Structure 1
Amino acid sequence: MRGRLCSKIGCAREAVATLTYDYGDRMAALGPLGRAGDPHAHDLCAAHTERLSVPQGWVVLTHDALAR
């Protein structure tokens, strides 16, 4: 059985991390795969995790398990 897939359109790789946003504080949080089905979270594969970029002025919080 295959795991969850990356949320990026056209990507069929297996997800390894979950990305969430806090728009009010201009933060993005990247961590291990979260609960499935959370409509406010985006699962990312390793390639998209490495290429993650956020708007200027935003902060990315990365969980130690995903040290980039």
Structure 2
Amino acid sequence: MATLTFDYGDQMAALGPLGPGGDPHAHDLCAQHADRLSVPAGWLVVRHEALRS
């Protein structure tokens, strides 16, 4: 599992370890969806290295 956060203004999405919850801009993803994550053209994706195995 992973948590996705994003910032429309910076056109950036970050995928990291499962967060504590309560952030309306954070979305929890299962491993399959985290691996298949795609973002709009021109956006940057930052993946936390601990998710890669």
State the TM-score, normalized to the length of structure 1.
Answer: 0.73
Quick check: which one's strand share is greater? 2
**Cα drift, residue 39 of structure 1:** 1.1
Q: Percent identity?
A: 72
Runs (4+) off by over 2 Å: none
Q: Cα RMSD (Å) of the superposition?
A: 1.2
Q: Distance in 1 between matches of 2:20 and 2:8?
A: 20
Q: Which runs of 5+ in 1 are unaligned?
A: 1-15
State the structure with more CA Rg.
1
What SS class does the counterpart of residue 65 from structure 1 fall into? helix
TM-score (norm 2): 0.91
Following TM superposition, by how much is the alpha carbon of 1:67 offset from its aligned partner in structure 2, in angstroms?
Answer: 2.3
Task: Report 1 or 2 for greater relative contact order, CA contacts < 8 Å, sequence distance ≥ 6.
Answer: 2
Gaps of 5+ in 2: none
Report how far residue 38 of structure 1 moved.
1.5
How many residue pairs get aligned? The number is: 53
